[in-house]
Amino acid sequence: MRDPRLQDSYVLHVLGARPNFPKAAPVVTGLAELGVRQGIVHTGQHYDVLMSDVFFADLGLPEPIANLGVGSGSHAQQTAALLAGLEEVVLREKPSLVVVYGDVNSTLAAILVCAKLGVPTAHVEAGLRSFDRSMPEEINRIVTDALADLLFVTSPDGLSHLAREGVPADRVHLVGNSMIDSLLAALPKLDPAPVQERLGAFGRYAVATLHRPGNVDAPEAAKELVDAVLGVAEQLPVFVPLHPRGRQRLADAGLVDRPGLSIVDPLGYLDFLSLVRGSALVVTDSGGVQEETTVLGVPCLTVRPNTERPITVTHGTNRLVTPAQLPAAAAKALADGATTPSEELPPLWDGKSGIRIARVIAAWLRGDNLAPASRGIAG
């Protein structure tokens, strides 16, 4: 129901990379149902059509009011361009609240711009921690959560992390995972057959997504990772929708088309999840894919020493492995066979996170007192 008290409010969403879009879509929908005026800024951190634009269509997101087109570059170069571009947009748009998502450089830049300008902010997917500050994303998470006015947490461990860091409890709301809202809504559309036919993915196959700096930036690390993936490809065909980041380094290390290994362009949201849904195994270093496989019931091997999403290990299908362990871990996962989605998914991963977030934002915009009784698990 639309609330006339919200008619003068304006919420700006800052989206930069493909993981942001499925997190944002349920929030945008929830706020629209409450009558909140909104705008989306696409920073262009992911600038390939298949890395971003197609997500707007797949997820039903409205056209952005601005596309900054910052493109790639070093962390400093990209963040500097984002700071300048976002400052101009925020000053022009004068939002009541800016909502940021996840842990990408666009998220960090937006939170810094708004903190300097005195514009209130909300962080969706707050409280995740890998406790590994060598990961650029971990720095982005810590800074964003320290500066945000509203923090929306996906899993109970995030509450503990934020409390330990001294974030005031009245800013923190356990709402579940809005990215899972998008996945659950998309399930009826996730038919593996068309994308399998297009890619030639017949029978049992694996999907691999690889882009983390720790895995691809150093030649020796990239070579170790590629050798491990080739060990999986000896057991079943592996399809790699290859992120632009690190593509050349991985190719130099031997990640090229060969028997058992197919390098494909990035896929749209529905195509990618359809391919994953029909797979026997996923190999990844991505955060979001760990969550999506947890819901889809597909065995997931995460090639990282840690994860900011430990709930995917305790409640889902995810397992952390080193490159050296990957081939053997793949063999075991394949021998164990396909799993089924857990009957008890993580708390509040129920498809209603977006509306929970929207209700808290609407209450905040109205100036309602967000008392302790209205925080934590909301209906």
Q: Please state the rounded mean pLDDT for residues 349-377.
A: 82
Does 112 or 213 have the greater pLDDT score?
Answer: 112
pLDDT at 377: 44
In this structure, are 44 and 159 located in the same domain?
yes
Is residue 18 classed exposed, middle or buried when 0-12, 13-18 and 19+ CB atoms within 10 A define those classes? buried
Same domain, yes or no, for 262 and 231? yes
In the predicted structure, residue 83 carries a pLDDT above the cut 60: yes
Average pLDDT, the chain: 91
What pTM value is reported for the model? 0.93
Question: Residue 379 pLDDT more than 70?
Answer: no
Same domain for 165 and 248, yes or no, is no
Same domain? 126 vs 150: yes
Both tokens assigned to 242: 């290859």
Catalytic residue, chosen from 123, 211, 243, 315, is 211
- Predicted pLDDT at 342: 57
Asked if 278 and 358 sit in the same domain, the reply is no
User: What's the pLDDT at 362?
Assistant: 97
Whichever domain contains 318, its CATH number is 3.40.50.2000
Q: How many percent of the chain have pLDDT more than 90?
A: 77
Question: Is residue 211 among the annotated active site residues?
Answer: yes
Question: Which pLDDT tens digit goes with each residue over 221-231?
Answer: 999 999 999 99
Please name the helix (run of DSSP H) or strand (run of DSSP E) that holds residue 97, with its range, or none: strand 97-101
Which tens digit of pLDDT belongs to each residue from 34-66?
999 999 999 986 555 554 567 788 999 999 999
Domain contains 223: yes
pLDDT band, very low/low/confident/very high, at 338 (cuts 50, 70, 90):
low
**Residue 379 located in a structural domain:** no
Q: Which of 1-15, 37-51, 162-176 has the highest mean pLDDT?
A: 162-176
* pLDDT tens for each residue of 200-215: 999 999 999 998 888 8
Q: 16 is in which domain, residue-wise?
A: 4-177+348-374
- Residue holding tokens 């909502």? 99
- Give percent above pLDDT 70 in the chain: 93
Is residue 73 in a domain?
Answer: yes
The whole-number pLDDT of residue 192 equals 98
Tell me: pLDDT of 376 over 50: no
